[in-house]
Amino acid sequence: MTDTTLSTQESIFTSTARDWSSDMTTFKGVPWGKAMMWIFLLSDTFIFTCFLVGYMVMRMTVTEAWPVASEVFALTVWGVSVPLLLIAIMTFILITSSGTMAMAVNMGYQRRKWAVFWLMLATALLGASFVGMQCYEWSKLIIDEGIRPWGYAPDHDLGAPQFGSIFFMVTGFHGLHVSVGVIYLITVAIRVVRGKYDHTNFEIVEITGLYWHFVDLVWVFIFAFFYLW
Amino acid sequence: MATVEVPYQETVPLHHPKTWIGKYIFSQDHKIIAVQYGITAMAVGLVALILSEFMRLQIAFPEAGFMAFFTADHYYQAITMHGMIMVIYLLTAFLLGAFGNFCVPLMCGARDMVFPFVNMLSYWVYLLSVIILMISYFVPGGPTGAGWTLYPPQTITQGTPGVDWGIATMLISLAVFIVAFTMGGLNYITTILQARTRGLTLMRMPLTVWGIFIATFLGLIAFPALFVSAVMMLLDKFLKTSFFMPAIVSLGSKLEYSGGQPLLFQHLFWFFGHPEVYIVALPAFGVISDLISVHARKNIFGYRMMVWAIVAIGALSLIVWAHHMYVAGMHPSFGFFFATTTLIIAVPTALKVYNWILTLWRANIRITVPMLFALAFVLTFIVGGITGLFLGNVIIDIPLSDTYFVVAHFHMVMGVSPILAIFGGIYHWYPKLTGRMLNDTIGRIHFYFTFIGTYAIYFPMHYLGFIGVPRRYYETGISEFYPVAAHNLNKFITIAALIVGVSQILFIFNLVHSYFKGKKAPANPWGANSLEWCTPETPPRHGNWEDRLPTVHRWAYDFGVPGEEKDHIPQTVPRRKAS
């Protein structure tokens, strides 16, 4: 019994090694574009990691108090202050968009072009509404709460000036990713129904999806670090 | 798994342009892009070379009348631009942009990079970054003079040259360069992983490709740190955020910054900066391995060990960065950790050096020009590597920090060594690229001037460092620790530097002259085995191969195999059935 388990394990390792180092392609059946997107996302991960590490260093080293997230990011609805309401909606929307994206990928492999189109368009719309809400959030922070990239408006001092700096920088960089993703989604969706990818297996939908899921995953980290910490 | 009869690699249609502009300017052919990268990198490298000559003249003859125009600001701007150009815009761009583009598809038996259009964009964005960098000299205040490490707070406080505009052009240029590098790098990695030809397993790839592969991988995970630090510093400069800027009094007035962390910049910068050393070194290692094996007519000693050494160096290089920061004021136990990892990295590096030497042992060495450069590389790298062991130790580093010993060390290990590898590679591949041989005599004269000249420059600098001469000083008078002998040594170094600088004209002349008047090159002048020497035409046409891609049957190092008639067996020759 143990002998067979061991030999199976060995063969898995050796066969993986043989597969990876074999000729032609290292990752079997993976189109070039998909491999390239994965490698790009690895690189992009390091960009966001550096931003988030920068944020953690700021939190540890600033000399003044850090503003309380649940108060800063509260939304007043019918006179009641609800913490993190807007962010909860934004997060829900972005995760929903990942769901529609996954459905689009599935439809792509079934070659149902119009289903792909509408699902990708829905994903793009959800993404665009996320960016819109982020604009609303930013303007609320800037106008109502007096938070500036370089600190605070004169009568709104909440503590460490790095709060606004790092918040606007990181969420801005993420919002830029979402905006680029929306344009990317719409472009691919139109090209799909125009038949530009008919000779392929519609892996472009999955490649777009990889990027979109990545942007979504990054948001989960940003959400945890900026709003829950 | 069943064999695929017609692989995807063979079915991809290539974009064949009809116009001259499409063929040679906005070309998607990896060989043309390699030449474009190479020429741009060399041109900008010449600017950096001239800047270094001005610096040397200033150090040696501070009182001379002809240096009167060269102010302290000019000196610091020259230091900064020289360092940044050499490290990033010359070495990285040449080794990965030029060699990477030329070698990867040819050595992998591919028709081109996987996404030629992205590859073309990569070059044009690189050119844009170079142009932005050069604009530094035409903006008010000139380029930044903060030193190539751009440490805050001095980089963006008044008193540093170029604090108004130069720093912005520098940081924007770096960010643009990173975009260009990412587009190229994604192409190299995907091509190496997914577009190799029949029979070319990872463990049959020439070491040049391995070096480029791991170096590109390092670049893709190290450059993001530089990108982030550039973005944050731009915000600090223009939006007055306080990421890196502590509360500070400058020129008698309190600045609007407060609570920032200057050490964060150093950590981010060196998380890029140390892997950068290996981004430059690993392709050089690969090129040198191939050159030594080919010109010594012997298989590379310990091929597998060489591959794993490259991988190990790449992995270790990501966890050694803070050895650049021993005197920066970090916690001392960090120094302990980073000194340990730094010394461990010497193990795979030493393995590589031993393997080169064992490859040479009892080999049938042909002293060709590329071989001369390869041998010089090994020597220079040993010198630079051993002084690296000194500086990796905290207790030895602290007295040597910011002296000429450091300057000598890093110029030996990542200035001269990669340049020698680049020269060797150019002399080696020029016949395949152009179809003409480079002039041998001029090549040899160029080699001896460069090799002996660089030793004349950098060897004495070690002694200057030992007696404590600080680096980056515009002018030093005669003092207790700065004796007349040191001044004389500086004069000697400057004269050597001028001779080396002028002798590079020989190289450029050789490149240009041989392109038109050189001897016609045979398809395989060095008797090498790797795939680029098996192309049906010399120089290879667009698409490199016939309708069918080549099939690889063996590794690239079958030299002097016992019982064979020829002394080398190209990778495309089938293995004989065991009798």
Q: Which helix (H) or strand (E) holds A187?
A: helix A162-193
Residue in chain B closest to A26 (alpha carbons) equals B193
**pTM for the whole thing?**
0.95
Answer whether residue A5 shows pLDDT above 60.
no
**Can you give the pLDDT at residue B2?**
47
Q: Of the candidates B532, B550, B528, B534, which has an alpha carbon nearest to the alpha carbon of residue B209? A: B532
DSSP string, A132-181: HHHHHHHHIIIIIS-EETTEE-TT---S-THHHHHHHHHHHHHHHHHHHH
- Put simply, whether A38 touches B (Cβ < 8 Å) is no
Q: Of the candidates B410, B392, B403, B406, which has an alpha carbon nearest to the alpha carbon of residue B335? A: B392
Q: Rounded CA gap, B409 and B462, in Å?
A: 8
Asked if the structure places residue B115 within a domain, the reply is yes
Percent above pLDDT 70 for chain A: 96
Q: Of the candidates A44, A67, A45, A43, which has an alpha carbon nearest to the alpha carbon of residue A166? A: A67
User: What CATH code is carried by the domain that includes residue B358?
Assistant: 1.20.210.10
Q: Which residues of B touch A15 (CB under 8 A)?
A: none
Alpha-carbon gap: B60 to the closest alpha carbon of chain A (Å): 42
> In sequence order, which residues have a C-beta less than 8 Å from that of residue B571 and are 6 or more positions away?
B200, B204, B529, B530, B531, B534, B550, B552, B553, B554, B555, B556
User: How far lies B18's CA from each of A13, B541, B545, in Å?
Assistant: 49, 14, 19
DSSP string, B59-78: HH-TT-GGGTT--HHHHHHH
Beta bridge partners of B250: B253
* CB of B515 closer than 8 Å to CB of B433: no
Q: How many helices and strands in chain B, by DSSP H and E?
A: 18, 2
Q: Which residues of A touch B308 (CB under 8 A)?
A: none
* CB of B120 closer than 8 Å to CB of B27: yes
**Can you give the pLDDT at residue A76?**
80
> A38-228, what's its fold?
Four Helix Bundle (Hemerythrin (Met), subunit A) (1.20.120)
Q: Which residue has the tokens 């063979």?
A: B10
**Alpha-carbon radius of gyration of chain B:** 24
Asked if the structure places residue B81 within a domain, the reply is yes
Alpha-carbon gap: B386 to the closest alpha carbon of chain A (Å): 32
B425 torsion bin: left (phi>0), alpha (psi -120 to 50), beta (else): alpha
Q: Which residues of B touch A25 (CB under 8 A)?
A: 193-196
- Put simply, whether A119 touches B (Cβ < 8 Å) is no
Alpha-carbon gap: A208 to the closest alpha carbon of chain B (Å): 16
Q: Is A89 exposed, middle or buried (0-12, 13-18, 19+ CB in 10 A)?
A: middle
Answer whether residue A1 shows pLDDT above 50.
no
Asked if the structure places residue B353 within a domain, the reply is yes
**Can you give the pLDDT at residue B438?**
96
**Can you give the pLDDT at residue B377?**
97
Of B225, B243, B256, nearest to A162 by CB-CB distance is: B243
Task: Return the amino acid letter for B379.
Answer: L
**Can you give the pLDDT at residue B304?**
94
Q: Rounded CA gap, B264 and A221, in Å?
A: 21
**Can you give the pLDDT at residue B64?**
84
Asked if the structure places residue B541 within a domain, the reply is no
Asked if B194 lies within 8 A of A169 by C-beta distance, the reply is: no
> Quick one: angle between helices B417-434 and B30-60, nearest 10?
140
Strand pairing of A147-148 and A80-83? unpaired
In chain B, the number of structural domains is 1
User: How far lies B48's CA from each of A40, A215, B163, in Å?
Assistant: 32, 40, 20
Residue in chain A closest to B109 (alpha carbons) equals A24
Asked if A149 lies within 8 A of B235 by C-beta distance, the reply is: yes
DSSP string, B187-221: HHHHHHHH---BT--GGGS-HHHHHHHHHHHHHHH
Strand pairing of A151-152 and A147-148? antiparallel
Task: Return the amino acid letter for B128.
Answer: L
Q: Which residues of B touch A62 (CB under 8 A)?
A: 259
Asked if A57 lies within 8 A of B264 by C-beta distance, the reply is: yes
Q: Which residues of A touch B264 (CB under 8 A)?
A: 54, 57-58, 61
Omega of the bond leading into A67 within 30 degrees of 0 (cis): no
**Can you give the pLDDT at residue B5?**
60
| Residue A40 pLDDT class (50, 70, 90 cuts) | very high
| pLDDT tens-place string over residues A6-39 | 555 667 888 888 888 888 888 988 999 999 999 9
**Can you give the pLDDT at residue B228?**
97
> In sequence order, which residues have a C-beta less than 8 Å from that of residue B443 and are 6 or more positions away?
B369, B427, B510
Q: Rounded CA gap, A47 and B558, in Å?
A: 43
Q: Of the candidates B388, B425, B429, which has an alpha carbon nearest to the alpha carbon of residue B410? A: B388
**Can you give the pLDDT at residue A9?**
60
Residue B66 is part of which domain span?
A: 25-245+257-294+303-534
**Can you give the pLDDT at residue B211?**
97
Asked if A26 lies within 8 A of B186 by C-beta distance, the reply is: no
Measured at the CA of B421, the angle between CA B219 and CA B172, to 5 degrees, comes to 35
Asked if the structure places residue B4 within a domain, the reply is no
Domain ranges of chain A: 38-228
Q: Which residues of A touch B193 (CB under 8 A)?
A: 25-27, 35
Q: Which residues of B touch A160 (CB under 8 A)?
A: 259
- Strand ranges, E, within chain A: 74-77, 80-83, 147-148, 151-152
- Put simply, whether A212 touches B (Cβ < 8 Å) is no
- The torsion angle over the Cα atoms of residues A160, A161, A167 and A173, rounded to 10 degrees, is -150
3-state secondary structure of B99: helix
- Put simply, whether A142 touches B (Cβ < 8 Å) is no
Could you read off the pLDDT tens digit of each residue along chain B, which spans 579 residues?
A: 445 467 788 888 887 888 888 888 899 999 999 999 999 999 999 999 999 999 999 999 988 888 889 999 999 999 999 999 999 999 999 999 999 999 999 999 999 999 999 999 999 999 999 999 999 999 999 999 999 999 999 999 999 999 999 999 999 999 999 999 999 999 999 999 999 999 999 999 999 999 999 999 999 999 999 999 999 999 999 999 999 999 999 888 999 898 899 999 999 999 999 999 999 999 999 999 999 999 999 999 999 999 999 999 999 999 999 999 999 988 888 999 999 999 999 999 999 999 999 999 999 999 999 999 999 999 999 999 999 999 999 999 999 999 999 999 999 999 999 999 999 999 999 999 999 999 999 999 999 999 999 999 999 999 999 988 999 999 887 777 788 889 999 999 999 999 999 999 999 999 999 999 999 999 999 999 999 999 999 899 988 998 889 999 999 999 988 888 888 999 999 987 655
Q: Which helix (H) or strand (E) holds B38?
A: helix B30-60
Task: Return the amino acid letter for A38.
Answer: W
Kindly report the number of other CB atoms within 10 A of residue B16's CB atom.
Answer: 11
Asked if the structure places residue B443 within a domain, the reply is yes
**Can you give the pLDDT at residue B15?**
78
3-state secondary structure of A77: strand
Strand pairing of A80-83 and B249-250? unpaired
Asked if B193 lies within 8 A of A51 by C-beta distance, the reply is: no
**Can you give the pLDDT at residue A159?**
87
